[in-house]
Structures are given as structure tokens and as C-alpha cells.
Structure 1
Amino acid sequence: MPKGSNVPVPTTALRVELGWGTGASVPDVDASALVLVGGKVRSDADFVFYNQPAHSSGAVRHVGKRDSGGRVTDSLIVDLARVEPAVETVVLAASADGGTFARVPGLYIEVREEGRDTAVARFDSTGASVETAFVLGEFYRRQGAWKFRAVGQGYDRGLAGLATDFGITVDEPQQPAAPASTRPAPPQTRAATPPPPAPSPAPASSAPAPARPAAQPPARPVRLTKVTLTKAAPSVSLTKQGGTSGALRVNLNWETRKQFKGWGSKIGRAVALHGDLDLDLCALYELTDGSKGVVQALGNAYGALDRPPFIHLDGDDRTGAVTSGENLTVNLDQQRRFRRILVFVTIYEGARSFADLHATVTLSPQHGAPIDFSLDECTVPSTVCALALITHDGGDLIVQREARYLVPERGVSPQRTVDHAYGWGMNWTPGRK
């Protein structure tokens, strides 16, 4: 499509894909969307991006990145059938982190019906120079029908400049604070001896004044800061980020591949054979008192936040949705009692390996910037992947990107496989969920 042109699109769920080429000097690029009424957002909740990945209406979701074959894509799902009647426009934007779009080769935006391989619209953006953000396209409503317009409007003030132009209130970066079931499971999947429990520390005038309306708390502005871990920069200090207290939420979301059956996808064939894909987020932990264990759905070992292991698994999700997925919470108020925590994921059923599975890991501390990374492409018959290692070393709390696929030997469970790879030294017995 040429810049400024438009094309009708079906009123259904559409996948919006931003793509670009990789390279040593190419900055990271992020997709975002703004839901507009009268050309402006109604509130900061109308901004969908990496730190606020879903609109409250469910009409717009940020589903994350894929890195394959020298090209990176970042995708949004826009379900036009669910867009609220008052909304006239959904703006589709890109922002560059660590450089300008002059250094981003082959930038494009493509729209496809979800679950289909045929593009209904595509715009290739060229000629960028000093821009650090772009409105690449927009969906707009005319007489009850939806169209896509190729826009190509650039900004030299980054995502913050773009967002504020549409009425978003952006939180300025702050200085870091001073450190202060019934189904059988494979064999050998539950820790034989949980760690011993330990107690947790307990946490006028005579004349009436005129009535005033109750003060409303100020709306919390969106935060545009984040940390993305890569192979070249695989670790970050939570201590230096000021994120050593409160709750640390670990989320895994993924794309289920059921809609791709018949495309020749390995995951598609596996799902066709075995049903819905079921991944389990788990954590091995070791505390400073020497106790070790596992937090996982098998054996109902969901953990706890107010007593050891100070880690809790929220539940067992099978959708991979970015608004839910699998979630672990770590109580960082007890961070000095942690020696190490290894977060990992296993395939419970629905696939024989992680091949063609595209997943994103996000660690969101209560204080400090979110940390995220994508899993690499899996090229081995792996059913367990080590995601992140959190260590407490010399007073510094470090998050290390692992993204390490492991292949269990015949008859060995995924849990025992990851235990052996990281030297946890636990005993395992069969478990169920």
C-alpha cells in the first residue's frame, strides 16, 4: 500500500504484525496501539503496549515478539467486533529503543485475519531518518464498516512524545531506591520432601466545616521504562533497579498453535493429535537455611507468600493469553532468605517439544522497571525450558536470562532433567494434578 491509501478490512479478529530486520546496530522496536475517541484517548487505559498489554474491552492485545531467520516481529491482536461503539480509531504505532528508525531495515506493518496466512493490508515504511517513533497505520470506522489506512507519520521524541500527543500521561523515570487434578503424570515429578515450615515475621474545630467531595486518588500514569534481556545482555540487577521489595510477578505467555493445524507446523500436528497445549510454569528454589523444593501445579505444590518458600503459583492456565498465562509471584520482602530461584516451564500435554512455540517471559517487580525477554527458537526435542535464574549474591539480587531448552533422557521427567542441569540435588517421586 502507498502512504495515505486505505483498504476495507473485515470486522473480525485481526493480527497486526510489525516486522524489521536484525543486525548488530539495529535498535529494539516495540509495537503499541492507542484506542481513540475524538482523536484522543479517554484515559491512560486506552494505551496498549509492553507494560499495559491488554485493553479493558478485550478488543486490543499486545502478544509479543518473535525472532527468527534474521527478522523480528512484534504483534498485536485487534478484534474489531469487540471495539466499543464510541471508539472511532485504533492507532498502530512503533517505537525504537536505543536508536532511530534510520537504523531499522525493512520496517513494515501487515494485517491478517487471525489464523489465516493471507494479508489483507501491508505498508512498507521507508525513508526514515531521525524518527524514534512512527504511527504506521490505523483502523478507522466509517458508516459502520472498518478500514485500514497506511499513515507513516514519524516522531523524533520517541514513544513518550507519540503517547502524549494523543493525551497519555507519561510517568517520568525515577531514580532507583537505595538497596535495602486427576490426570496421571509422568514419573518422578514431585519433590519427595518439602522444606520444613518456618514462621514469617508479623508483619478539632467546634464548628462543622463545609462538606467537600472526597478527594480522588490521582490516576497512575503509564511507565514507558523497561528492561529487555538478550543473549548479548542476559542479566540485570534488581538491586540497582530499586526492585528488591514487594511482589515480583513472573508471567509466561505463549501462542497456542491450534489454529495452524494443516500448515505443516510441528506444534500444529502435535496439538491435533493430543488436544490443547498445556504448559506448566514452575520454580526450583533454595533458601539460605539450605532448604530446597519446587513450586508447581503437580502435587498441588503451589507454595505460599507469607511463609517458606515465599513463592506462589497463581494457578494452572491453558490459554497462554497475555492477560493471564502462567504466573508466579515472589515475595521480595523476604529476598535475603533466597539463595537462588530457577523459573522453568514444562510441557504437560499437547505437544512433543517447544518447536514453533513462541513465548515471552515478563518479570514485573512492584518497584522498578519490568524485565522481559523472548524464548529462542527451539531446534531440539525439548519438553522443558529453563527460563530465568534469580540469585542473591553479595547483597545483589540478579535476574539472569536462561532461555535454555533441555532434552530429558528416556524415562526421566522434565523436573529431574532441569534439577540435574542446575545441580539442585533433589529426590523426585510421581505427582499428579
Structure 2
Amino acid sequence: MSMLKGANVPVPAQSVRVELGWNSGPGVPDVDASALLLVAGKVRSDADFVFYNQPRHSSGAVRHEGKQTGGPTITDTLSVELSRVEPAVERIVLAASADAGTFGQVPGLYVRVLDAATGAEVARYDSQDATVETAFLIGELYRRQGAWKFRSVGQGYSSGLGGLATDFGISVDEPAAAAPAAPAARPAPPSAPTPSVATTPPVPPVPAAPPAPPSAPAPTPVRLSKVTLTKEAPSVSLAKQGGSSGAMRVNLTWQVRKQFKGWGAKLGRAVAMHGDLDLDLCALYELSDGRKGVVQALGNAFGSVSRPPYIQLDGDDRTGGSNTGENLTINLDHKNELRRVVIFVTIYEGARSFADLDATVTLQPLNGAPIDFSLGECTVPSTVCALALITNTGSDLVVQREANFLVPARGVSPQRTIDQAYGWGMNWTPGRK
């Protein structure tokens, strides 16, 4: 049962998942979940703000896990280990923000608190009175007499995530409006001669105060910007987004739709026959010296971030619906040694096609805005999909959304199919995990 606004319930679990959900559809803006850890009503520093650009609190107690799609419903999830929350933190504010729209355009908005161990619902609040708000303080976890409780709030902001964050003490990096030009000063009228007066004896100089010690550099304000690639706007410069150094994490998450038709019916039967769908995230690379290769789980070709190819597969997720998905890390400190990279995904087992599969790709540079996009609907019997092409232009890396579903010819592997489509020209031999 949904709670009334302002109601509260005990939270007996030691670890919870906070699920923000809404219904997708034409004209519905994207929504993002975030959390603020408060002491005396304010954050202690910008590090107490957990959101898509800063997905993990330094204590490890709060993490932004990302979005999942299930039919018409989209969820964005935060995980909170209440036992690890620092004693000084009194409240964890749970917020929602709408990207390029208002919450009056977001149907079915709700927040659920789930026991992370059992999946049991601890609390639920459905927002039903949103209009022009672009950010919502939708609920909060708070301490009371040594125990945790959840309160539904439903307080809106028309100033977006930046306004909400600023209200709790976050310094936000937003472009400042240009100041209006000052009017030109009029020339002063000629002054009248002044009479001479007697001068007083000079005052002895006061000894100069010792110079103040240099102050610590001001912390970098939080960046709220993010980039979503679409068919109409498929590419972005990493340098322009601030992502020109450090590690860039490439994440793929997926979920099988519940209703099947067309090629989806074949996928549904395949999943029923073989269990969980297992996708493999891979990368073809070409280095600046001409060397080429692949990073993938097959053949244990996991790569490396500290030496060529400066790309590493973090692991092999067999479910995709988990909080982690499949991940690649690219070392942007060695971007000059990368000529081009094709990031792609193959079906290892569990289905014959990508049809009726919802998948999201996120590229998160350490020092830049996240870049994300969905693959869209697959209408062909594809077992391999090119996700993104990263190209070195000589001064920058450009990320191009591909979302290119390919159908291998009979007897041709998915890897060779990608190779042929993008002109890599490598020799291939069978491999296994």
C-alpha cells in the first residue's frame, strides 16, 4: 500500500535498495535518482551528494546503481547500507530530477524501499500531485532513537536538480550568465581650484603585517551535466565534456522484456530453454602503431589498463539485470596510443537474437559527464551488435553511437562479423570461456 505524504515507517533492514520508478512514453522526460547525506540539514561537502556523475559515497554506504527498463516502467536505483552510514549523518534525502521536462509530464512516479537481502517491500510512496516541478525531494531515510525510518516527502522544486542541490549546500558548476555591460562614465566637469591649507606632520608608517599563508584551492564544483546520444545527435567529443584523462568505464546493462512477439517469441523460447541470457561486452582496438586485437571473455583476452591495449574487461556478468552489468575500462591517459575502438556485444548463450531486449550503454569518464544511450529495438535475427565507435581525431577522442545490429552469415562468428563490418582485417580462431 502506498504511503500518504508525510507518513513514516520503520526500516528494519540493514541494507536497502531505493527504487525510483515511472512510466515511459512519448514526451516523458528522463528522470534521475540522487541522494544527499545530511548533517544538521546540510551536506558536509560536495562529496555527500550521490548521483549519476558521482555514483559512490566515500564511505561506501550509498551508491547510485543506475537505470533498468522493464516493459513500460523505468527504474533508477540507489543502494544504501544503513549499517555503514557514518554516525554523524542524520538524514539521507532521496531526490528525483527531470531532464528537459517537468514532473507533470512523468506518469506513475513512485519510490520504493526494498530490503536488499530479501527483496521485500519496506515502504512505497506514489507521487500524484506533480505539476511544474523539475526536481523532487521524494522521501528520506532518517535516524530516530538509534533506528532508521523512512518518510515520504513529495516537496517539489522548479529550479531543477541544481536548485535542490544548492539548497542543501552543494556548490554546482553551472555557466554563469554574462553580466550586463556597465554604462559608460560621463566625463567629470572641470574642478574648481582648491585653496591651499596647512599640512599636518606625516604619520609614521605602520609595519606591514606578515603575508597570509596560501589558502587551499577551492574544491571543484559538482557537474550536473550529462549527455544522451540519439539517432539525431549520435556523437560527442570527450574533450568538450571534460573527459580527456583518467579511466573511462563503459557499462552495459540489459533486461529481457516480458512480452514476446515476432523475433521476441523465439527469444522467449530460447531464454526458457537455456536460462538467463548471457551477453558478452567486447572491444576491437587498433593502436596508433598499427597493432590490432580484441578484448573479450572468450580466450581470457581480458586486456589491461596499464599496458597496451589500455582497455580491460572487468568481468563476465551472466545476468545483466544485476546492478553491475558488463564493464570495460579504457585508460584515457593513453588516448594518444589508441587509433580507434569498436565496442560491441555478442550473445554467448540464452537466446538466438537481441529482439525484445532492453539494453543501455553508459560511458563514464572519470573527469567528465556521463554519456549514455539505449540500443533501441532489434528487428532482425541479430546475435552481435556494435555499440559505439571511438575514434582518435588527432587532438581528441570522439564517441559515436552505433547501435548497429548485425546478422552473421552461416558459419561466421559474431567477432568476424564485426571485423568485416568495420574493416579490421584480423584472422580469427575459435575460443571459449
TM above 0.5, yes or no, is yes
State the partner residue of 1:63: 65
Q: Residue 162 in 1 paired to residue 164 in 2?
A: yes
Q: Residue 110 in 1 paired to residue 103 in 2?
A: no
Q: Percent identity?
A: 66
Kindly report which structure 2 residues correspond to 1:27-426, keeping only aligned pairs within 5 A, or say none. Answer: 27-114=29-116, 116=118, 118-173=120-175, 215-230=215-230, 233-238=233-238, 240-241=240-241, 243=243, 245-247=244-246, 249-252=248-251, 254=253, 281-286=281-286, 291-296=291-296, 298=298, 301=301, 309=309, 311-313=310-312, 315-316=314-315, 326-331=327-332, 334-335=335-336, 338=339, 340-346=340-346, 360-365=360-365, 368-374=368-374, 384-392=384-392, 397-404=397-404, 413-426=413-426
Q: Which runs of 5+ in 1 are unaligned?
A: 176-208, 258-263
Q: Structure 1 residues 232, 94: CA separation in 2 closer, same or farther (over 3 Å shift)? A: farther
Secondary structure (helix, strand or coil) at the match of 2:169 reads coil
Give me the CA root mean square deviation: 4.2
Q: Structure 1 residues 70, 284: CA separation in 2 closer, same or farther (over 3 Å shift)? A: same
TM-aligned CA deviation for residue 246 of structure 1: 2.9
Is 1:13–1:77's contact at 8 Å kept on the other side of the alignment?
yes
- Could you tell me which amino acid in structure 1 is paired with residue 21 of structure 2? G
- Could you tell me which amino acid in structure 1 is paired with residue 315 of structure 2? D
Secondary structure (helix, strand or coil) at the match of 1:129 reads coil
Kindly indicate whether structure 1 or structure 2 has the higher relative contact order, using CA contacts under 8 Å at least 6 residues apart: 1
Is 2:252–2:360's contact at 8 Å kept on the other side of the alignment?
yes
Is 1:65–1:374's contact at 8 Å kept on the other side of the alignment?
no
Is 2:392–2:398's contact at 8 Å kept on the other side of the alignment?
yes
Superimposed CA distance per residue, residues 83-123 of structure 1 (whole angstroms, 9 cap, x where no aligned partner): 22322211111011112222222221122223656533221
Q: Structure 1 residues 22, 297: CA separation in 2 closer, same or farther (over 3 Å shift)? A: closer
TM-aligned CA deviation for residue 166 of structure 1: 1.1
TM-aligned CA deviation for residue 162 of structure 1: 0.6
Secondary structure (helix, strand or coil) at the match of 2:86 reads coil
TM-aligned CA deviation for residue 30 of structure 1: 0.6
**Cα separation, 1, equivalents of 2:285 and 2:158:** 45
State the partner residue of 1:200: none
**Cα separation, 2, equivalents of 1:266 and 1:36:** 48
Q: Which runs of 5+ in 2 are unaligned?
A: 178-208, 257-267
Is 1:3–1:123's contact at 8 Å kept on the other side of the alignment?
yes
**Cα separation, 2, equivalents of 1:83 and 1:242:** 31
**Cα separation, 1, equivalents of 2:42 and 2:84:** 19
- Could you tell me which amino acid in structure 2 is paired with residue 92 of structure 1? L
Q: Structure 1 residues 11, 73: CA separation in 2 closer, same or farther (over 3 Å shift)? A: same
Q: What TM-score, normalized by structure 1, do the two folds share?
A: 0.73
Q: Structure 1 residues 130, 124: CA separation in 2 closer, same or farther (over 3 Å shift)? A: same
| Number of residue pairs matched by the alignment | 387
TM-aligned CA deviation for residue 226 of structure 1: 0.9
TM-aligned CA deviation for residue 393 of structure 1: 6.4
Secondary structure (helix, strand or coil) at the match of 1:77 reads strand
TM-aligned CA deviation for residue 145 of structure 1: 2.2
Query: Rg larger in 1 or in 2?
Result: 2
Q: What TM-score, normalized by structure 2, do the two folds share?
A: 0.73
**Cα separation, 2, equivalents of 1:51 and 1:337:** 25
TM-aligned CA deviation for residue 75 of structure 1: 1.4
